Chains A and B, each alone.
Chain A
């Protein structure tokens, strides 16, 4: 007997809505953190000091090459052991499961965004670099005013697909018990045995949201496209 009403019956409707908000919360905070740190790490790899480039490379290789789930368990189980008591309590009060998921998603995605930034640098021709240098701009000034501006516009499609990946990746938080959309729908499935409605609901939510994100990014892409390049 397929019973769709389990999706909105009390308390399920409210639980699913809270789970969706939690999914958005994890994805949105992870986006912000990984975009900022990804650009930072990407810049490190182009830095004029060799030691900084090494730091950037090590960061990318560590966090890009360890599977997300393994990283999540590492952060979740190990962090509380090395933190002092008061910090541990503060994290537990905020919700250690959610925090660990955000930290892990941000570490992983920032490494991938850093790679995107590096590939963006490669699209900047030697001519432009020399022009920037010969006009007397410092390293930081030329990054800030010329290169970053250009390369962020170039890598927008890559960032869009990374954003969608982070959104879907938030479902991994269920492995440490975060009651986000995937977790709650699976729980509802095992409690009620109504697997068809809950699976259709979960797929629809992820499909629709990821699709909407891709749509917004498509508009952004058109708006910021560098004139004279493909798609511009």
Chain B
């Protein structure tokens, strides 16, 4: 979703009606989303609500970053963690509007975070945040304690999954740059198609069943960069190694023999041996 500076005053200063139109125009509202959580609290219904709130959280995080650069990740984390508290507060007005009400609660939290950030940092921002409060009228519905607890668990799960995905994108980047790998080389090392690597490069999510392999290669890059200068490592892993019958480091890694290679280096760099 594209967020521009024009969106910032809407989110930080707009009324509830303005916000609702903004959410509608961006198709972020799903009528009925979260309704099941009221009558049938479970992890599944809570996860459904969290999934419907997730694009809203990311949109608001981007807005926050437009107002105060560098805040996207921390605002994203805070909003995920605050979902349960929002559900337990006066923001939820009716069973049919749970997701929309959560969205308003999220906006209120974004405004609080940015105000607090401005106060703490002393930085004068272009956009003053206007405080938003829930309606004083009595609520017609209140989420049960167990429903709120499920939302907390589902939100934590959602955030940790997203964070892990982001983490694996970073690890993949470290592997690529550490070994200076072409798409075909990375695909071979990870046992996937070149198309899969291209999709990851374009930002597609990395399936958890690849995380183990990525961890293995990431640990290897980290270890080898302890020994070799970063600019020398790409050349080093492509050298034919006399000690391994002329195989290169990349070939050893591709055939699962990296432990032998590491042991050899460890003996030389950290061991106490003679020839």
Same complex for A and B? Answer: no
**Residues of A near any B CB (own CB < 8 A):** none
